[in-house]
Homo-oligomer: A and B are copies of this chain.
Amino acid sequence: MRADAQRNAEKLRAAAAELFQERGLKVPLEEIARRAGVSHGTLYNLFGTREALIDEVVTGLAADRLDETAEHALSFEEAREGFAYYVEKVCELQATDPAVADVVSGRYPAAECLMAICAQARDAATRIIERAQLAGAIRPDFTAEDLLVFFCVNALLAGAVADTEPDTWRRQVGFLLDGLNTETAQAPLSVAPLTSQQMYVVMGRLAGTP
B181 and A177 form a contact (CB under 8 A): no
Question: Which residues, 163 to 180 on A, are CB-close (under 8 Å) to B?
Answer: 164-165, 167-168, 170-172, 174-180
> Which of B153, B175, B185 is A157 in contact with, Cβ under 8 Å?
B153
> Which of B170, B179, B186 is A189 in contact with, Cβ under 8 Å?
B170
- Sample of 21 A–B contacts (CB below 8 Å): A146-B171, A146-B175, A149-B168, A150-B172, A153-B157, A153-B172, A164-B201, A164-B202, A165-B201, A167-B191, A170-B189, A171-B193, A175-B175, A175-B176, A177-B179, A178-B184, A179-B180, A179-B184, A181-B184, A183-B183, A184-B184
B residues in contact with A172, CB < 8 Å: 146, 149-150, 153
A82 CB to nearest B CB, Å? 15
B residues in contact with A205, CB < 8 Å: 159-161
The distance in angstroms between the C-alpha atoms of A210 and B102, with both chains bound, is 19
B residues in contact with A168, CB < 8 Å: 149, 191, 194, 198, 202
Q: Which residues of A contact B (CB under 8 A)?
A: 139, 142, 146, 149-150, 153, 156-157, 159-161, 164-165, 167-168, 170-172, 174-181, 183-187, 189-191, 193-194, 198, 201-202, 205-206
A106 CB to nearest B CB, Å? 12
Tell me whether A174 and B190 are in contact in the complex, defined as CB-CB below 8 angstroms, given that A165-B198, A181-B185 are known contacts.
yes
